[in-house]
Each structure stands twice: as structure tokens, then as C-alpha cells.
């Protein structure tokens, strides 16, 4: 009985160590976004952006315009893919003429981050028949 409990605790500890290693890396992405976009209730102008995860074990994300003093912190949740991302990208949903940042992926990673859908995005999506996915190439900075 003691052996079974010890073995179960060991397996759980190893699993947690591998899982935390996947999420503990800080991601720092740079991209030129050619259009105005929204994340949550914040609107960002077109420009050069830094998107960074800030904390290990946290999905706190910094989004900052490198040309203007426009930045914010927001929460995102992790998502996973069966295959590693082929490219580093920011993914947007375009509804009408409005763009919403909804995911970002780093090349080689099976884990990405997804932002919560804002009330405005939900409302536009219910009233608009076409929702288009738009990707913007990005670079990972060390």
C-alpha cells in the first residue's frame, strides 16, 4: 500500500514538472500589425508590437505598442495543438472592419495563448455573417 501511494505521488510529481516546464518559459514576440485591433475592451492602433508573457505559471500577458505609449496587461488561457506551431504568429478574427487579437503561437511550441472574447466581439459575431481569420507573422525575441 505504501509503495503504491509513493509510486502515485512520484508519477504525479514528474507529470507536474514536465507540465510546468511547458508553461514556465517566457514568450517574447515582436510583430508589425498593419491594422487597428482590439483585445478585450482596449483598442490598439496599427504599429510595431511586443507581446510577452510575464510570469511563470501565469497567463498574464503584456501587449505594447513600440511606437506609441499604448500598452496593457491582459489575461489569456493556454491552448494546445497536436503538432508544434510552424511559425510564430499573431492570429486575429476580422468581423466587418474590426480586428480582434485572439491567439498567439511561438514557432516550435505546442502551447499557445488565447484571449477571452470581448462582449463587443460576441455582439459583432452574432450580427455579422462572415468572420475571417487573419494571421500576422511575428518574430521571437530572446
CB 113 within 8 A of CB 77: yes
Beta strands at 98-105 and 37-39: parallel, antiparallel or unpaired: parallel
Residue with cell 499573431: 90
pLDDT tens figures, 105-142: 999 999 999 999 999 999 998 888 789 999 999 999 87
pLDDT tens figures, 74-99: 889 999 999 999 999 999 999 999 99
Residue 121 burial class via C-beta count within 10 angstroms: exposed 0-12, middle 13-18, buried 19 and up: buried
Beta strands at 37-39 and 47-53: parallel, antiparallel or unpaired: unpaired
- Three-class SS string for 81-125? CCCCCCCCEEEEEEECCEEEEEEEECCCCCEEEEECCCHHHHHHH
pTM of the model: 0.78
Residue with cell 505546442: 110
Query: What's residue 58's pLDDT?
Result: 67
| Domain range list for the chain | 26-140
More confident site: 20 or 138: 138
Mean pLDDT of the chain: 82
HSE-CB for 121 with a 13 A CA cutoff: 20
Query: What's residue 87's pLDDT?
Result: 96
Residue with cell 516546464: 21
Backbone angles phi, psi at 19, to 5 degrees: -65, -45
Amino acid at each position: 500500500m505504501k509503495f503504491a501511494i509513493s509510486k502515485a505521488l512520484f508519477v504525479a510529481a514528474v507529470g507536474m514538472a514536465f507540465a510546468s516546464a511547458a508553461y514556465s518559459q517566457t514568450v517574447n514576440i515582436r510583430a508589425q500589425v498593419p491594422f487597428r485591433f482590439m483585445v478585450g475592451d482596449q483598442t490598439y492602433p496599427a504599429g510595431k508590437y511586443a507581446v510577452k508573457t510575464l510570469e511563470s505559471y501565469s497567463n498574464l500577458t503584456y501587449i505594447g505598442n513600440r511606437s506609441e505609449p499604448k500598452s496593457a496587461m491582459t489575461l489569456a488561457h493556454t491552448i494546445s495543438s497536436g503538432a508544434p506551431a510552424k511559425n510564430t504568429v499573431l492570429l486575429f478574427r476580422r468581423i466587418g472592419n474590426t480586428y480582434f487579437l485572439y491567439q498567439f503561437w511561438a514557432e516550435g511550441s505546442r502551447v499557445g495563448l488565447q484571449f477571452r472574447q470581448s462582449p463587443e466581439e460576441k455582439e459583432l459575431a452574432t450580427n455579422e455573417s462572415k468572420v475571417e481569420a487573419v494571421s500576422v507573422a511575428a518574430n521571437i525575441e530572446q
